Amino acid sequence: MTRRVQLFAVAGMIGLFLGLFRGQTVLSLLSLSSLLWILSEWLLFSWHVRFQIPSIKPFRMINGERESNRSLWADRTVEVRVQLTNEIRLWGVTLDLLDVIPENLELLHSEVKRNRQSNSWLVRNFVSFINSADNDVVNQRRLEPGQLQSAWSYSARVRAAGNVVFPGFRITLQSTHHLYRFEKFIPCEQSFRALPSFVDAGEYRSLTKKSNVILRHGVHRLLRSGMGSELLELKEYVPGDPFKSIAWKVSAKRDQWMTRQYESEVPARVQLLVDGSRTSRVGGFGFRLIDQMTFVAASIGRMATSAGDAVGGVLFDERGMRRLPPMSGEKGFQILLRALADFSINPSPPPCLLNQRMIDAAWGLISQQFPDLLDFKVNEFPFSVFPILPTGRARRRQRFLISGALTEIFRLSSREQVAMIHDDVTFAQRIQELLNNSGMPWIAPVIAPFEGRDREPIERMTQLADSILFAVGHARDNEVFVVLSDLLNCVGILEFLLPAVKLAIAKHHRVSFVCPTTTFRRPSPTVAADFSGNWSTDDLLFVAEQARLQIQAEQLKRELHRCGASLSLSGEKNAIRLIMAELEAAKTGRSRFQGALR
């Protein structure tokens, strides 16, 4: 029941009372007819709620398939088709069917297909994109009376790797004159794994010249006898050797049969060390630093497996380390993609203080997915005198309703419900759990300073050093370590990391660092003379960020080059080509690569 019908009912009761009291028959009949009209509308609306709403069974098809537990790709378009399984007949009401889109999807466009029917009722279908900060309807379509819409489709783009969960549909039933309103959420969960995207960096041709000079002790070329084009060695003829490999001139000089053996390169190994700390997961999907790192890691894996090389990895964050054994071929590449997709899922964020934006996010989510739990019939707000101000009373009522909904969702006891009402810490933990289960983990926009915060980068560098040592312990000869981590803000504390890097290089491995940037572009020096006075605030902020990143990149590059490691910045193909050049240099056994033709 809405405010409008309450006003109509009060006006009808007042008119009926005045008509009977003053003996005005016309006023009494008009008031009584309006009350009977309100009653008939209520009866019709109740019949639809009781018998028609339970029969609505919508379902969706993702890329032409109805099954879930499939794989999607980041930065690719997804075609979604929503359809009703049965026809419903509604009279005097309007139906809003809303498909809740997860945060990891970006709505592109919606296409509505209309089917004309003989009955006259209005169906309004719209698709909404739910953001963690605020819930906005970004696309809404309405049909004229006399048109029935039982199916429509829309397309969306997967923002980043991780998971994509479609929770279900929200149904809002209203009478024609907006006298009554009913909301219900129909669960229709479909879960998909979003694999990271990758790019082909182009054909790579090494400019490194092969040399027959004896290498240093412990360093050797990864070569073996085979059917290559380069000569590996000469040996005495053994019965069974092919006659085409006989070296006739050498055999004539030595007066014995000699055969040639040609070299064949042994596949090299690449170890991907991906840092998934909290600082790399801050931001929206597609704008996180870990999204850049998974993109570069998948691209390196694609090029290495295509060349026949083995790719392994160590994925580490605050939860611990996970090792991927080196694998090659298409199967190994698919295993790597699935591991990166699962690693990109945001874990439960650390507990944070309760604030109004967190409460608003929980209120919007419950209103979208659990509107029936906010009904006053099942979730009643008790009357109290305090607080007196309307703003305070509204906030207290909102907290009571959210606590009651959380109690029903998580099956809590009455004592835990009272604790949520009066304890901010318990209330914040339950809200955070709800948002995390719905795919919207809450992280405060402004992180409050706390004691010991300066220790966090040091702990991250220590964990990165431990992961390098762990990879060295499981490595063989002449492997390439690719470390993908945010080091631009840790230039002053590299002394916790450099000993592990020096040990890996002393073991004749190659270490390459790939650092993501907040602007997704390599920092370049800016010429101050280009300033024309017409730049916007965003342009000035971008230039300032580029200048800061340029200084940090130069300092970081200088420190790492002293140890013999290389550095590149992610977001571009140059980082991928640098790793492939290091891989080619590892095969030849040279201490440094001379370059590559791009």
pLDDT (tens digit, 9 = 90+) per residue, 248-277?
Answer: 888 888 888 888 877 655 667 889 999 988
Between 151-160, 319-328, 526-535, the lowest mean confidence (pLDDT) is in 526-535
Cα–Cα distance list, 464 to 106, 392, 457 (Å): 33, 48, 10
- Which CATH architecture is the domain 269-348+455-597 placed in? 3-Layer(aba) Sandwich (3.40)
pLDDT at 12 over 80: yes
Burial of 539 (0-12, 13-18, 19+ CB in 10 A): exposed
- For 370-389, the DSSP string reads -GGGG-TTTSPPPP-S---S
pLDDT (tens digit, 9 = 90+) per residue, 567-590?
Answer: 888 766 667 777 777 777 666 655
Q: What is the average per-residue pLDDT within 214-235?
A: 56
Between 75-79, 130-134, 312-316, 550-554, the lowest mean confidence (pLDDT) is in 130-134
Pick the residue with more confidence: 487 or 585? 487
pLDDT at 554: 87
Q: What is the DSSP letter of 52?
A: I
pLDDT (tens digit, 9 = 90+) per residue, 452-481?
Answer: 445 678 888 999 999 999 999 888 777 889
pLDDT at 171 over 90: no
Burial of 290 (0-12, 13-18, 19+ CB in 10 A): buried
pLDDT at 502: 92
Q: Residue 134: which pLDDT band, with cuts at 50, 70 and 90?
A: very low
Q: Residue 328: which pLDDT band, with cuts at 50, 70 and 90?
A: confident
Between 117-131, 285-299, 385-399, 560-574, the lowest mean confidence (pLDDT) is in 117-131
Rounded distance between C-alpha atoms, residue 25 and residue 181, angstroms: 33
pLDDT at 3 over 80: yes
Nearest one of 220, 296, 225 to 573, comparing CA atoms: 296
pLDDT at 362 over 70: yes
Q: What is the average per-residue pLDDT within 362-387?
A: 82
Between 3-17, 344-358, 524-538, the lowest mean confidence (pLDDT) is in 524-538
Nearest one of 323, 347, 10, 3 to 181, comparing CA atoms: 3
Task: Provide the mean pLDDT of the chain.
Answer: 78
460 CB contacts (<8 Å, ≥6 apart)?
A: 275, 277, 279, 490
pLDDT (tens digit, 9 = 90+) per residue, 511-564?
Answer: 889 888 876 666 665 544 455 556 777 777 777 777 888 888 888 888 888 888
pLDDT at 195 over 90: yes
User: Any idea what the Cα angle at residue 306 is, between residues 305 and 309, rounded to 5°?
Assistant: 40
CATH T-level assignment (fold) for domain 58-195: Immunoglobulin-like (2.60.40)
Question: What residues does each domain of the chain span?
Answer: 3-51, 58-195, 224-265, 269-348+455-597, 356-437
pLDDT at 133 over 70: no
Rounded distance between C-alpha atoms, residue 286 and residue 294, angstroms: 11
Nearest one of 470, 565, 467, 548 to 509, comparing CA atoms: 565
